[in-house]
Protein backbone atom coordinates (compact mmCIF):
# COMPACT_ATOMS: atom_id res chain seq x y z
CA UNK A 1 0.00 0.00 0.00
CA UNK A 2 1.42 3.41 -0.86
CA UNK A 3 2.57 5.92 1.74
CA UNK A 4 0.51 9.07 2.52
CA UNK A 5 2.80 10.94 0.12
CA UNK A 6 1.83 8.59 -2.72
CA UNK A 7 -1.84 9.03 -1.93
CA UNK A 8 -1.46 12.82 -1.78
CA UNK A 9 0.25 12.85 -5.19
CA UNK A 10 -2.48 10.64 -6.63
CA UNK A 11 -5.18 12.93 -5.26
CA UNK A 12 -3.49 16.03 -6.65
CA UNK A 13 -2.98 14.43 -10.06
CA UNK A 14 -6.58 13.24 -10.42
CA UNK A 15 -8.13 16.36 -8.88
CA UNK A 16 -6.10 18.76 -11.00
CA UNK A 17 -6.54 16.81 -14.23
CA UNK A 18 -10.26 16.14 -13.78
CA UNK A 19 -11.08 19.45 -12.09
CA UNK A 20 -9.41 21.37 -14.88
CA UNK A 21 -10.10 25.05 -15.33
CA UNK A 22 -13.11 25.51 -13.08
CA UNK A 23 -11.49 24.29 -9.89
CA UNK A 24 -7.76 24.65 -10.32
CA UNK A 25 -7.25 27.92 -12.20
CA UNK A 26 -7.37 31.37 -10.71
CA UNK A 27 -4.67 32.92 -8.59
CA UNK A 28 -1.75 30.88 -7.31
CA UNK A 29 -2.97 30.68 -3.70
CA UNK A 30 -6.38 29.44 -4.85
CA UNK A 31 -4.71 26.80 -6.98
CA UNK A 32 -2.61 25.70 -3.99
CA UNK A 33 -5.71 25.45 -1.81
CA UNK A 34 -7.38 23.21 -4.37
CA UNK A 35 -4.27 21.05 -4.59
CA UNK A 36 -4.18 20.74 -0.79
CA UNK A 37 -7.85 19.73 -0.80
CA UNK A 38 -7.29 17.07 -3.47
CA UNK A 39 -4.24 15.77 -1.58
CA UNK A 40 -6.31 15.53 1.62
CA UNK A 41 -9.12 13.73 -0.21
CA UNK A 42 -6.56 11.32 -1.67
CA UNK A 43 -5.36 10.45 1.84
CA UNK A 44 -8.80 10.50 3.47
CA UNK A 45 -9.69 6.76 3.30
CA UNK A 46 -6.83 5.85 5.63
CA UNK A 47 -8.59 7.64 8.49
CA UNK A 48 -10.23 4.25 8.91
CA UNK A 49 -7.11 3.37 10.90
CA UNK A 50 -8.71 5.36 13.70
CA UNK A 51 -11.70 3.03 13.90
CA UNK A 52 -9.74 -0.19 13.42
CA UNK A 53 -11.49 -1.21 10.20
CA UNK A 54 -8.70 -0.61 7.71
CA UNK A 55 -9.26 -1.20 3.98
CA UNK A 56 -12.94 -2.02 4.39
CA UNK A 57 -15.87 0.03 3.13
CA UNK A 58 -13.82 3.23 3.20
CA UNK A 59 -11.68 1.77 0.39
CA UNK A 60 -14.47 1.04 -2.08
CA UNK A 61 -16.51 2.29 -4.99
CA UNK A 62 -19.34 2.80 -2.48
CA UNK A 63 -17.17 5.28 -0.56
CA UNK A 64 -16.24 7.02 -3.83
CA UNK A 65 -19.95 7.44 -4.61
CA UNK A 66 -20.62 8.64 -1.07
CA UNK A 67 -17.88 11.29 -1.10
CA UNK A 68 -18.99 12.42 -4.56
CA UNK A 69 -22.56 12.69 -3.27
CA UNK A 70 -21.33 14.81 -0.37
CA UNK A 71 -19.60 17.12 -2.86
CA UNK A 72 -22.90 17.42 -4.75
CA UNK A 73 -24.63 18.48 -1.53
CA UNK A 74 -21.91 20.98 -0.57
CA UNK A 75 -21.53 22.52 -4.05
CA UNK A 76 -24.69 21.63 -6.02
CA UNK A 77 -23.84 23.67 -9.14
CA UNK A 78 -20.25 22.55 -9.67
CA UNK A 79 -20.20 19.22 -11.49
CA UNK A 80 -16.51 19.57 -12.29
CA UNK A 81 -15.78 19.75 -8.57
CA UNK A 82 -17.86 16.63 -7.90
CA UNK A 83 -15.85 14.74 -10.50
CA UNK A 84 -12.53 16.05 -9.17
CA UNK A 85 -13.34 15.10 -5.57
CA UNK A 86 -14.60 11.68 -6.62
CA UNK A 87 -11.54 11.09 -8.80
CA UNK A 88 -9.14 12.16 -6.05
CA UNK A 89 -10.79 9.73 -3.62
CA UNK A 90 -10.88 6.95 -6.23
CA UNK A 91 -7.12 7.18 -6.70
CA UNK A 92 -6.70 5.93 -3.13
CA UNK A 93 -8.70 2.79 -3.89
CA UNK A 94 -6.80 2.23 -7.13
CA UNK A 95 -3.35 2.80 -5.64
CA UNK A 96 -4.00 0.56 -2.64
CA UNK A 97 -5.30 -2.12 -5.00
CA UNK A 98 -2.00 -1.87 -6.88
CA UNK A 99 0.06 -2.05 -3.69
CA UNK A 100 1.78 -4.91 -1.96
CA UNK A 101 -0.11 -5.99 1.14
CA UNK A 102 1.60 -7.83 3.98
CA UNK A 103 -1.30 -7.98 6.43
CA UNK A 104 -4.27 -10.33 6.07
CA UNK A 105 -6.90 -10.03 4.80
CA UNK A 106 -4.92 -9.01 1.72
CA UNK A 107 -6.29 -6.28 -0.50
CA UNK A 108 -9.33 -4.09 0.05
CA UNK A 109 -13.11 -4.22 -0.21
CA UNK A 110 -12.90 -2.32 -3.49
CA UNK A 111 -16.34 -3.29 -4.80
CA UNK A 112 -18.32 -2.75 -1.61
CA UNK A 113 -21.38 -2.61 -1.32
CA UNK A 114 -21.76 -4.76 -4.44
CA UNK A 115 -19.21 -7.31 -3.23
CA UNK A 116 -17.80 -7.69 0.28
CA UNK A 117 -14.70 -9.63 -0.79
CA UNK A 118 -11.17 -8.27 -0.53
CA UNK A 119 -9.46 -7.63 -3.85
CA UNK A 120 -5.82 -7.05 -4.74
CA UNK A 121 -4.16 -6.57 -8.09
CA UNK A 122 -2.01 -9.39 -9.46
CA UNK A 123 0.45 -6.62 -10.35
CA UNK A 124 2.07 -5.13 -7.24
CA UNK A 125 3.26 -1.71 -8.30
CA UNK A 126 3.78 -0.06 -4.90
CA UNK A 127 5.77 -1.29 -1.92
CA UNK A 128 4.19 -1.83 1.51
CA UNK A 129 4.60 0.81 4.20
CA UNK A 130 6.99 -0.44 6.87
CA UNK A 131 5.97 0.55 10.39
CA UNK A 132 8.88 -0.97 12.33
CA UNK A 133 10.55 2.40 12.54
CA UNK A 134 13.23 1.22 14.96
CA UNK A 135 14.82 -0.89 12.18
CA UNK A 136 17.26 0.51 9.62
CA UNK A 137 15.83 -1.88 7.03
CA UNK A 138 12.44 -0.28 7.59
CA UNK A 139 13.74 3.17 6.65
CA UNK A 140 15.45 1.74 3.58
CA UNK A 141 12.18 0.09 2.60
CA UNK A 142 10.32 3.38 3.07
CA UNK A 143 12.91 5.21 0.95
CA UNK A 144 12.43 2.64 -1.81
CA UNK A 145 8.64 2.94 -1.55
CA UNK A 146 8.72 6.75 -1.73
CA UNK A 147 11.13 6.65 -4.68
CA UNK A 148 8.75 4.45 -6.67
CA UNK A 149 5.77 6.64 -5.74
CA UNK A 150 7.59 9.80 -6.78
CA UNK A 151 8.67 8.19 -10.06
CA UNK A 152 5.16 6.95 -10.92
CA UNK A 153 2.86 9.57 -9.40
CA UNK A 154 5.10 12.65 -9.25
CA UNK A 155 5.00 13.32 -13.02
CA UNK A 156 1.19 12.97 -13.06
CA UNK A 157 0.77 15.40 -10.15
CA UNK A 158 3.22 17.79 -11.81
CA UNK A 159 1.34 17.54 -15.09
CA UNK A 160 -1.91 18.43 -13.35
CA UNK A 161 -0.33 21.40 -11.59
CA UNK A 162 1.36 22.63 -14.77
CA UNK A 163 -1.90 22.44 -16.71
CA UNK A 164 -3.63 24.41 -13.97
CA UNK A 165 -0.77 26.94 -14.08
CA UNK A 166 -1.02 27.37 -17.85
CA UNK A 167 -4.77 27.94 -17.57
CA UNK A 168 -4.12 30.47 -14.85
CA UNK A 169 -1.71 32.37 -17.12
CA UNK A 170 -4.15 32.28 -20.04
CA UNK A 171 -7.04 33.51 -17.91
CA UNK A 172 -4.94 36.37 -16.49
CA UNK A 173 -3.64 37.50 -19.91
CA UNK A 174 -5.31 40.71 -21.14
CA UNK A 175 -7.51 40.25 -24.23
CA UNK A 176 -5.76 41.00 -27.53
CA UNK A 177 -7.16 43.49 -30.04
CA UNK A 178 -8.80 41.92 -33.06
CA UNK A 179 -9.15 43.49 -36.48
ZN1 LIG B 1 -5.60 3.01 2.16
- For 30-57, what is each residue's pLDDT tens digit? 778 889 999 999 999 999 888 878 889 9
Q: Which of 62, 90, 65, 88 lies closest to 73, judged by CA?
A: 65
For the chain, give the longest Cα–Cα distance.
70
* 119 Cα: distance to centroid of ligand 1 (angstroms): 13
* 107 Cα: distance to centroid of ligand 1 (angstroms): 10
Give me the chain's average pLDDT, please. Answer: 88
Give the count of beta carbons closer than 10 Å to the beta carbon of residue 33: 13
Split at pLDDT 50, 70, 90, the class of 161 is: confident
* 20 Cα: distance to centroid of ligand 1 (angstroms): 25
* 58 Cα: distance to centroid of ligand 1 (angstroms): 8
Give the distance, in angstroms, between the CA of residue 53 and the centroid of all CA atoms in the same chain: 20
Amino acid sequence: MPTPLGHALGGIAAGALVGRAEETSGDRSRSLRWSALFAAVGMLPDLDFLVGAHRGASHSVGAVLLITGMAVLVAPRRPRLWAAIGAAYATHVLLDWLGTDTVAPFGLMALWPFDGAFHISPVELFYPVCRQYWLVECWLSLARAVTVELAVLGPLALLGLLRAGSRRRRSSRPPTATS
